[in-house]
Structure 1
Amino acid sequence: MESFENIAVTMTHDELLEETRSSLCTLMSCDSLLSDLPLDVITEEILLLTAAERGQSITIFISRENEPKLKVIVPQAAKVAELKKSIARHFEIFQQRTGSKVKISWKYIWKTYNLDFDGIILDDDNSSIDSYGVCNKVTLNFKKKRKKNKSI
């Protein structure tokens, strides 16, 4: 125990943080259950993944045109509005990890695009996603809204 105290006393705070990060990275990469987690995982992600493993939440993949799919975890009984908020939050985390500083206007996104599941548009924010047939490990697509013709 004394050697640990000596190490803690002789190291600076930054050195101790770096040693801790390094040890956690090594542990996470060697563990089969933790190896698929990002090294900078946050508590919110761990709670969502735990809920998905317990069957309390479902995983939905969001397909964007020329971009990699986005993995979103939502409660099973989530409404479309909650799904949209989860997509925004997961995309924010994705941007932080990639270092992107592009500001996304989600108001514009939802005004311009719909979520599409097998040709069905999720257009009612107050409906639950399971009423559209959305279940675990399905892929939703962004589909551009069609402009409505204004007749005189």
Structure 2
Amino acid sequence: MELFQEALARLVQDPLLCDLPPQVTAEEIGSQVALEYGQAMTVRVCKADGETVPVVVVQNASVLELKKALRRHIQLRQARQGGVQHLSWKYIWRTYHLTYAGEKLADDRKKLREYGIRNRDEVSFIKKLRK
């Protein structure tokens, strides 16, 4: 394990991967490499509090894959910062919609490109209205 950590520390010093945090995961390295080779894209998710979270997904990702990537990103960030350890994602998706250009991303199976979402586009959380 110690050898792996040393190799990972050297790897993160590479100019291509220098943006990654010191406690990087193999998944984050894979995402960054895929991004550099054009196999992935960054979708900026704007939270209700105004914070923007960059999420990396594959080029042909679905809405569900974006939601899962957002969840992984937030969980990793919370673990590193020592913040709230548990969020109810069931509650979040029951309370908020993801939207792009005023359109709800309602169908989890639909591809992001079908909604017109491209690299570096911004998706927002919008609170659902009560019926």
Contiguous gaps of at least 5 residues in structure 2: none
* TM-fit CA distance, 1:103: 1.2
Of 8, 17, 21, the match for 1:34: 17
Indicate the SS of the match to 2:21.
coil
- Where does 1:19-98 land on structure 2 (aligned, <5 Å)? 20=6, 24=9, 28=13, 31-66=14-49, 68-98=51-81
Aligned twin of 1:123: 106
Contiguous gaps of at least 5 residues in structure 1: 1-15
Give the number of aligned pairs.
130
Indicate the SS of the match to 1:88.
helix
C-alpha distance 55-117 of structure 1, shift in aligned 2 (>3 A)? same
Aligned twin of 1:11: none
* TM-fit CA distance, 1:67: 5.2
Give the RMSD, CA atoms, in angstroms: 2.5
Question: TM-score scaled to structure 2, two decimals?
Answer: 0.86
Of 85, 110, 113, the match for 1:102: 85
Instruction: Point out 4+ residue stretches in structure 1 off by more than 2 angstroms.
Output: 31-35, 65-68
More helix by share: 1
Q: Percent sequence identity over matched residues?
A: 40
Distance 1:102 1:131 in 2: 34
Letter in 1 for 2:128: K
Question: TM-score scaled to structure 1, two decimals?
Answer: 0.75
Distance 2:16 2:65 in 1: 28
When Rg is computed on C-alpha atoms for both structures, the one with the higher figure is 1
Letter in 2 for 1:114: H
